[in-house]
Structure 1
């Protein structure tokens, strides 16, 4: 699963400031063991029809089971919020009624006799699933838990397609089919789906037959003949366009809304190449399933989900051709979900406590793919970006493998994902590429179609490498936190010795054992030393012929840590020139940004404007935000704004030119508002607004007739708010309402709130306030709402105060009435 995780935000004095997520606290820790296996699922056959008017699934299911080890005369199935009509045993060609108890969550069945571990039996259940009547709690990452979703089922909303899709993780499959809804169960399945003939279907495995029915419906039969976990079951029904591709004779397909049919390959078309890369270069195991489909669902409750052979993506995956000019922002998610077909589907975490053996690998696959496809700079960015995500959002108090969670949904966080991915990166660095990938193959081969955990992963690595890795797994998998290092340097001229002093300054008594590469530079000459830092304070000495120009600790930049690196600006400049790793260059750019008034710092930033990696160029441009620029630098930035190969970098350059308030740029900004890149056009429109608001608003009126997204849509809204009046309410309100739940929408809430201070129409004002309230009190997952309540109250108070100042007491009172007490 690619999680949908919102950073905690704070609105204060008109500013949006990111904050750390609140750590999970457990008052009475409970050990979360993997589910005890009394009965094993063997095969699940489902005949399903759909009542669109009531959003019901009418099902008949035949479940083949057997006792796991001990004899048993009973069966317990998860079945949430259903109407159970019949429970019978299929025996000798007949159905025999069985006694059962049902409490709306669990179905307890008394079998006709005691069965032994080698005896299969089949239970038949006639039922109705009522997902909208089931009240389950979601999480910050997965915002709802009702398992089966009818989207616009009666077609009343003309802006949305009619769809059905399912979301099984964590234990939502049992809302629409009785099963043993635990990740350590594996079963084959056959789903026979009867739907209106105008729709197409998608499910796990292969479409084997399609039968037209006399009532205008069609029954599609999907067969999954390899075992997988129930949370990976999937049903999709809708009016999608299907774009076919292939990989080594296997079907690869992309299910998208019809307006995206022509760009589907630009969004998902790298999938066959990814399959080849992951099969041949990473796992050594050919893609293990019969097909691979990807489908986009409206109003999806998370980022994406790796249902076996049938990944479901949220609608943000659907980007139009103009959005894709700025790059496919969904490419990492495509890689993430595909890699789950090995790590998560082929070998599945035995429990939610061990979720990271699914999610850390999927997270790390993004780096592996970018490294292969785009080079080391792109991989280094993925690494440092995810490291910063963990450092700013991760719960530092919990272990990676966590047996004491309050709720299984809590496991979908920056520790399981981003920290887990960084730990794999450290493990790869420590054992080496060949051993790392052979160990992955060993793990997958040993536990195929079964379950894995961190201990099994360690054993696979130890068998391949011959190394005892208990220290690594105890520290990183079964421990919490990360090191904080204070690094300083010395040089003893008489003995020609360079020294590195490393202190571990993290709170508490815990010390980390850290294998570190240290590079010592004299000019362009580099010598590497491999050391272990494992004490509160370590000193490392190196023989040198003269004082080094640079000593670069953690030269691979793969260690998960926070650090205070006491280098001089000259040393950072040397690092930029010779260390070459993107993270090394980024650190140097940041050091120069802090010293931009120093000519040497300024000069380094100018040099970085020509860096081969666009993110480094963009970072250098942003570093000039508060600097006085000379003519040569301005000329260089003007050139970047007009000609850089990367559109995002061009937009960043336009943002900096906008700060100059130079009338000579006006014609360029006007022209750039028509750029094919949304990012460039949006930056140009906002830049023009700083020079000529009426002209920007006039262009806004022209552009708003088009399909605008991304940065341009934000710019149009900002210009409308700043220079428009309440006659543009529908434009602002509609755009805000249609935005998916992302950090951008939280930012837009403040903009929308400022706009409402201009609105005098009572109906529009009330609608706008209620839209903002809905975002914070309904759309944001329930687990996070309390953390956002102060921000909502501050925003409402600001609106109310300004309405009071304008003498609009009734509107002020309405806004104030929404403030929580």
Structure 2
């Protein structure tokens, strides 16, 4: 599953200050999304004249840090090997001390048969269930099923065609059943349960990764919202499917299933497995029966019901590949999902295990509570993935599609045995994104994906501290859905592939999948499979990366003396973090000649030297960019220029870009000029934003390249950046470029052109905006808000008011709030100020984000109040009166949220 990092295809983190935009690479997934699978989150923080917008698929949040015993760190630093057995995890400060054991299996699910119908008005599901089980090992005369917030009508034992009522107790969470006798592990028994599921009456809370946990969702069931389809869909992970059917809702259970859904005849249904039958009931309803003959975990059960248009792609080895979309988006199904058959072929060949299920479908739903979910045979996506051809010009969600598909092997075919071992699902799915990018886009795409995953992980850490991958202590299972599990885990797997070689690594994955097919897995099983194939002892590697937490922070310095090039490495991560054992490749460049060396870092501080006839022009430490950690080097702009031109891996180029963007030297500007021709569109865009056009020589050299990029670049982000940069010159000769950009197909380019007109000719900008259709305005909302904020006329307020009122969730409101506050500050009408602050307060209450306002906006309001009061001190007449009223309004708003 993917969320924050929706997952993080990875996006850009924009910092807008005045007209400048500096971008850094950030993956979308959570988890680059924790967050759990791939949902578009736009986060906002505001202060005077400064907005932060976070556009990412996966906002990762690390709440807890893992502390490692000093004795272990000291022993490792002394060169001692860690114990071969699994390391005992240290409990992080503030984390529950209860060990999160894999759930004990008393009874095993065997088969689950459901017959469900829906009450759209009440938002109820009326269900009948026949569930077959058997004891795991020991005889038992009782059964406990998870069943959240239901009305239980009947619980009975099935005897052929008759049923025998059973005694039970129910506490709104679990159904405790007394069986008619004690059953042995060789005996199966079937229960019949009749019940009503009432998800909207359930009191549950979600998490950062999955924002709600009521399992079954009725979307616009009464049809009152004409802009939204009527839909029903489910979301099972982590343990929410027990809201709509009684089950043992744990990942280490596996069951086959059959689901019959009675729905209005006009709707399409989707579930796991194959559609076996459709029966017209003669009353306007139809009953569809879906059957899943291969066992899978209860959290992977799914239903989706709505007005979907089905696009049938070419089957893969006779297995159907279908895409379910709203009719409006059906014409673009192939553009959105069309690489799926090749992904299936690539993953099947790479893993040595063919796609294991009877079909693969992908469905897009409204108001989804996460990014996407890898339900067995039927992945469910949030609406962000559903795009027109115009929207696809500015980016697709291919990373999410690849991520969820890889789960069909890692997560569905073999499932993590507990949430503590979620790494066996999510680390692998995120790794699947990386290797797909390598297959589809070459080494450049693979390296870019790895770089973004590493950046996503490191953003949530400090001093090398982070939790372990296999996590047996946590406050809530949702805490495990974070950047450690997703991003860090994926690049640890990639580093392991690099260590063993592709052939041995993938043979090991094949063995792991085959040995544990339709069962459960944890890291030790993966270790044993890889050891069996490679013949290598991997205990140290797994202890270091799966069972200890943290990462290395290396302080690396270079020197040359008496014919020897020297490399000094010091591990400077927190002393509580382990000392890492790291094989590292180092490339030493003299002119165009390169010498490669391999170092073994296994102490807190080490020196390495190499015989060299001359001082190296450049040393590329960790040349393969495999280290899962941070490297701090004593490089100059000359070093970065050399690495950009002579050792141009993706990471080397981006790191050179980051350094040059902050360096004010002429050499840095020259390097940025060179980057205007980089192969990567994001690097071109970011180099444009960092150029200093106040320097006449740089401007003269840059303008021809900027004009060419603005007109012809294939990357719309680069084109938009060039248009914005040219507008910042204030030169009206570029007005025709902006006017032409208004008619472009790319929303990125249109938005940048609107911003350019705001700077060069606001009157022309107003006229251009009036000609835009509603759909275009919806897609360039941020650009329009910036335009209205640059010239804050009273008549513009209704745009902000309407957008804020239409925001149905915090993620939809945040992009409005920041520009609205800036507009209110720049406007000079106290009535506008008071109305706007009322709008914002009402939105905060409606969306339950008062705490965000209290923490982020109170300082902004106070600063704005002080600024208005200061301006009033030197004003006279009506202007003075207006400024004082505005100061009072901002002050009052701050005081309200303080309370």
TM-score by length of 2: 0.86
- Kindly indicate whether residue 80 of structure 2 is the aligned counterpart of residue 15 of structure 1: no
Q: 381, 401, 406: which is aligned to 1:313?
A: 381
Does the 8 A contact of 1:625 with 1:656 survive in 2?
Answer: no
What is the Cα deviation at residue 22 of structure 1?
Answer: 5.7
Offset at 1:772?
3.7
| TM-aligned CA deviation for residue 387 of structure 1 | 1.2
Residues 118-171 of structure 1 deviation map (CA, whole Å, 9 limit, x = unaligned): 111001100000001111121001000000000011111112111000000000
Match of 1:218 in 2: 286
Deviation at 1:798, TM superposition (A): 6.5
CA-CA distance at 1:546 after TM superposition: 1.7
1:663 equivalent to 2:732? Answer: yes
1:796 CA drift (Å)? 5.6
1:791 is aligned to: 856
User: What is the CA-CA distance between 1:475 and the residue it aligns to?
Assistant: 1.0
Whole-Å separation in 2 of the counterparts to 1:578 and 1:744 = 44
- The equivalent residue for 1:537 is 605
The residue that corresponds to 1:378 in the other structure is 445
Distance 2:705 2:247 in 1: 64
SS of 1:37's equivalent in the other structure is coil
Is structure 2 residue 695 aligned with structure 1 residue 615?
no
Q: 2:497 aligns with which of 428, 440, 445?
A: 428
CA contact (8 A) 2:216 2:233 kept: yes
Work out the CA distance in 1 between the residues paired with 2:296 and 2:693.
Answer: 56
**Cα drift, residue 577 of structure 1:** 1.5
Q: 1:603 Cα shift? A: 2.4
Cα distance change on mapping 1:755 and 1:608 into 2, 3 Å? closer
The within-5 A match list for 1:165-314 is 165-245=233-313, 246-281=315-350, 283-314=351-382
Equivalent residue for 1:33, pick from 101, 109, 133: 101
After superposition, the C-alpha distances for 1:647-676 in whole angstroms (9 at most, x for unaligned) are 111111122222212121112111112111
Change (3 A) 1:797 1:237: farther
Where 1:223 maps in the other structure, the secondary structure is strand
Question: What is the aligned partner in structure 2 of residue 556 from structure 1?
Answer: 624
Partner SS, residue 289 of structure 2 = strand
Partner of 1:679: 748
Q: Distance in 2 between matches of 1:203 and 1:472?
A: 40
Q: Which residues of 2 match residues 569-584 of structure 1 at below 5 A?
A: 569-584=637-652
Q: d(CA) in 1 for partners of 2:733 and 2:349?
A: 55
Partner of 1:349: 416
Q: Does 1:512 align with 2:547?
A: no
Deviation of 1:800 after TM superposition, in Å, equals: 7.4
1:782 alignment counterpart:
none
Give the Cα–Cα distance (whole angstroms) in 2 for the partners of residues 700 and 67 of structure 1. Answer: 68
Name the structure 2 match of 1:754: 822
Change (3 A) 1:799 1:300: farther
Q: Given that residues 804 and 812 in structure 1 are in contact (C-alpha distance below 8 angstroms), is that contact kept between their aligned partners in structure 2? A: no
Q: Which residue of 2 aligns with 1:56?
A: 124
Q: How far apart, in 2, do the equivalents of 1:789 and 1:460 lie?
A: 52
Which residue does the alignment assign to 1:692? 761
Q: Which residue of 1 aligns with 2:547?
A: 478
SS at 1:630 equivalent:
helix
The verdict on how the C-alpha distance between 1:771 and 1:683 changes in structure 2, with shifts beyond 3 A counting, is: farther
Match of 1:768 in 2: 839
Out of 369, 387, 400, which is 2:454 matched to? Answer: 387
Higher mean C-alpha displacement, 392-401 vs 28-37: 392-401
Quote the Cα distance in structure 2 between the aligned partners of 1:372 and 1:799. Answer: 52
Which residue of 390, 399, 402 corresponds with 1:335? 402
Secondary structure of 1:127 counterpart: strand
Distance in 2, matches of 1:101 and 1:800, equals 60
In structure 1, how many angstroms separate the alpha carbons of the residues matched to 2:239 and 2:448?
34
Report the equivalent of 1:781.
none
Deviation at 1:809, TM superposition (A): 9.5
Describe the shift of the 1:809–1:511 C-alpha distance in structure 2 as closer, same or farther (beyond 3 A): closer
Per-residue CA deviation, residues 218-276 of structure 1 (Å, 9 max, x unaligned), is 00000011000000000111011111113222111111111111111111111111111
Report the TM-score, using the length of structure 1 for normalisation. Answer: 0.94
Report the counterpart of residue 87 of structure 2 in structure 1: none
The alignment partner of 2:885 has SS state of coil
- Residues 721-736 of structure 1: pairs in structure 2 closer than 5 A: 721-723=789-791, 725-736=793-804
RMSD: 2.4
Q: 1:102: which partner in 2?
A: 170
Bigger relative contact order (CA 8 A; separation at least 6):
2
- 1:766 is displaced (CA, Å) by 7.0
In the alignment, the residues of structure 1 paired with residue 468 and residue 858 of structure 2 have an alpha-carbon distance, to the nearest angstrom, of 35
Written as runs of structure 1 = structure 2, the 5 A alignment for 1:616-655 is 616-625=683-692, 628=695, 629-655=698-724
Return 61-70 or 716-725, whichever deviates more.
716-725
Quote how far apart the aligned CAs of 1:2 are.
Answer: 0.3
Q: Deviations over 1:758-781 (max 9, x none)?
A: 584799647722454057625xxx
Structure 1, 404-413 or 627-636: larger mean CA deviation: 627-636
Moved more, 424-433 or 303-312: 424-433
The 2-side partners of 1:813 and 1:46 are apart by 58
Distance in 1 (alpha carbons) for counterparts of 2:2 and 2:664 = 39
Aligned with 1:777 (options 848, 858, 873):
848
Residue 405 (1) aligns with residue 474 (2):
yes
600-609 or 104-113, larger mean C-alpha shift = 600-609
CA contact (8 A) 1:800 1:816 kept: no
Query: Which residue is equivalent to 1:807?
Result: 885
1:502-534 deviation line (CA, Å, top 9, x unaligned): 111111152111111101111222121111111
Structure-2 separation of matches of 1:737 and 1:67? 54
CA contact (8 A) 1:186 1:450 kept: yes
Shift of 1:602: 2.6
The whole-number CA distance in structure 2 between the counterparts of 1:11 and 1:418 is 28
> What is the CA–CA distance in structure 1 between the aligned matches of 2:729 and 2:118, rounded to whole Å?
60
Between the aligned partners of 1:471 and 1:716, the Cα distance in structure 2 is 55
Unaligned runs of 5+ in 1: 779-784
What SS class does the counterpart of residue 236 from structure 1 fall into? strand
**8 Å Cα contact 1:292-1:309 kept in structure 2:** yes
Residue 738 of structure 1, CA deviation: 4.9
Alignment partner, residue 772 of structure 2: 703
Larger mean CA deviation between 751-760 and 23-32 belongs to 751-760
8 Å Cα contact 1:165/1:237 also seen in 2: yes
Please give the secondary structure, in 2, of the residue aligned with 1:409: helix
Q: Cα gap change, 1:706/1:799 in structure 2, threshold over 3 Å: closer, same or farther?
A: farther
Q: Deviations over 1:636-656 (max 9, x none)?
A: 122111111221111111222
Which deviations, in whole Å up to 9, do the C-alpha atoms of 1:328-356 show, x marking residues without a partner?
1x111011111111110000000000001
Q: Which runs of 5 or more residues in structure 2 are unaligned?
A: 5-34, 36-40, 65-92, 869-880
Deviates more, 1:72-81 or 1:731-740: 731-740
After TM superposition, give the deviation of residue 28 of structure 1 in Å.
Answer: 3.7
Provide the rounded CA distance (Å) in 2 between the counterparts of 1:735 and 1:375: 41
Give the structure 2 partner of residue 419 of structure 1. 488
**Are 1:356 and 1:420, in contact at CA under 8 Å, matched by a contact in 2?**
yes
Structure 1 window deviating more from structure 2 (738-747 vs 382-391): it is 738-747
8 Å CA contact retained: 1:8, 1:21: no
Compared CA separation, residues 814 and 65, structure 1 to 2 (3 A): farther
Determine the C-alpha separation between the residues in 1 that align with 2:657 and 2:95.
45
Shift of 1:461: 1.4
Whether 2:673 is the aligned partner of 1:606: answer yes
